[in-house]
């Protein structure tokens, strides 16, 4: 059944063309991975790139944290050629603070620098960061100018409709940013007051496209949670690209599935249990390579709920996956779990001898269907089914 949003149906179709951000050219209907804290790190970005993400953004980086030499913030600047094109997103509530941090971001070598004017989290907006600046559009303009003055690469912006329903000035904001030379604009179709509640107001995306932007690429965000909704956003609003946030959580396949759906009109089946376990195991291995085994195992725990949502006995599996403190222990649980068993008991099975070493990368994994999507989205993927999980050489060092 085709996806429909009864609250807003476009009466005319906008013709979509390819888009360009600075030196980057994109095909028709590109899909972007949103900057998400504790989600959009290199291991997850590598998986999303494999499954067809056209461009990705890092977790948002604190200007103040960079200036204070906080290790966690500097770690977010790590990007790798295999991920390109990629943008680093920066946030800060102080004009000089953002200005002084921008050269550090620029030196990391992203394809673009993105400014976060959209995060609704209280501790950020209280500092005039993220969506907090929507209460002071003159300050938004000055922060944007400060970043553009220090950057040697294109600057983009991500924001929301406004602070609340009484202060939606997004059309004027879009015009202002384009006049300043911003290379692209992404808008989450909710106000800060809404946060993530209620429906995203796609009618505003169409208004921004028709009345706010001229030549500046415009990317829509909000409630693009599945392939049908992604196509609907393109069709109804005329946006040049769609940015996926919550729809990609535990779901790197969404990029490939959405592209195939838009090309053929047929919805590809979701990944089966074996493929899902394969990718989760690889995600875990990448995490452990990047962060070290103990930290990688702990950090990965927050992802299991999204990956296994909707499967029978998923809550039992999530509970079991929270217990091991080693990669081998987690893999043992996953490889022995039977989702269709009426009363699941996880056996104390051992991994094969050749992979019992917790530091071994080439861990045995379940068989994967021959038609597993390739990085480009077509044909079989030998890389996913037969090769070990590996970070780029520069990341593993």
Q: What is the DSSP letter of 219?
A: E
User: What span, in angstroms and rounded, lies between the C-alpha atoms of 222 and 365?
Assistant: 35
Annotated catalytic residue 119: yes
- Written in H, E and C, the secondary structure of 16-31 is CCCEEECCEEECCCCE
Q: How many CB atoms lie within 10 A of CB 390?
A: 16
CA-wise closest residue to 222 among 263, 195, 185, 189 = 189
Strand ranges for 72-137 from DSSP E:
86-91, 112-117
Residue 162: DSSP 8-state:
B
Strands 24-26 and 19-21: antiparallel
Q: How many Cα atoms are found within 13 Å in the side-chain-facing hemisphere of 144? A: 28
Give the whole-angstrom CA distance, residue 187 versus residue 167: 15
The rounded distance, in Å, linking the Cα atoms of 292 and 289 is: 6
Catalytic residue among 21, 112, 119, 185: 119
Give dist(CA 116, CA 245) in Å, integer. 14
Q: Which residues are catalytic?
A: 119
């Amino acid at each position: 059944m085709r996806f429909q949003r009864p609250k807003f149906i476009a009466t005319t179709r906008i013709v979509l063309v390819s888009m360009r951000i600075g030196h980057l050219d994109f095909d028709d209907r590109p899909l972007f991975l949103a900057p998400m804290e504790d989600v959009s790190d290199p291991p997850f970005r590598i998986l999303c790139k494999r499954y067809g993400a056209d461009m990705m953004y890092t977790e948002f980086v604190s200007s103040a944290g960079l200036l204070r030499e906080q290790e966690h913030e500097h770690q977010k600047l790590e990007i790798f050629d295999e991920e390109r094109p990629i943008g680093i997103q920066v946030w800060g509530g102080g004009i000089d603070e953002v200005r002084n941090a921008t050269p550090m971001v620029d030196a990391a070598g992203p394809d673009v620098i993105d400014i976060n004017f959209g995060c609704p989290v209280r501790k950020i907006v209280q500092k005039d960061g993220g969506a907090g600046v929507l209460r002071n559009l003159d300050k938004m303009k000055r922060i944007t100018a400060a970043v553009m003055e220090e950057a040697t690469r294109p600057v983009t912006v991500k924001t929301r409709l406004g602070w609340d329903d009484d202060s939606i000035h997004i059309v004027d904001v879009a015009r202002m940013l384009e006049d300043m030379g911003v290379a692209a604009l992404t808008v989450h179709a909710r106000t800060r007051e809404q946060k993530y509640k209620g429906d995203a107001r796609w009618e505003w995306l169409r208004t921004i496209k028709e009345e706010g932007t001229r030549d500046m690429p415009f990317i829509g965000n909000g409630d693009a949670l599945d392939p049908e909704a992604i196509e609907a956003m393109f069709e109804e609003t005329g946006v040049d690209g769609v940015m996926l946030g919550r729809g990609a959580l535990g779901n790197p396949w969404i990029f490939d599935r959405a592209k195939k759906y838009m090309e053929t009109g047929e919805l590809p089946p979701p990944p089966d249990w074996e493929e899902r376990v394969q990718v989760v195991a690889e995600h875990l291995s990448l995490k452990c390579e990047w962060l070290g085994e103990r930290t990688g195992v702990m950090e990965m725990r927050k992802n299991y709920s999204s990956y296994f949502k909707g499967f029978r006995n998923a809550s039992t599996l999530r509970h079991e996956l929270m217990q091991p403190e080693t990669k081998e222990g987690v893999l043992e649980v996953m490889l022995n779990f039977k989702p269709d068993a009426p009363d699941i008991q996880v056996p104390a099975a051992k991994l094969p001898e050749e992979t019992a070493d917790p530091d071994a990368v080439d861990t045995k994994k379940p068989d994967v269907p021959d038609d597993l999507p390739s990085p480009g989205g077509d044909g079989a993927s030998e890389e996913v089914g037969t090769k070990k999980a590996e970070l780029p050489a520069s990341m593993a060092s």
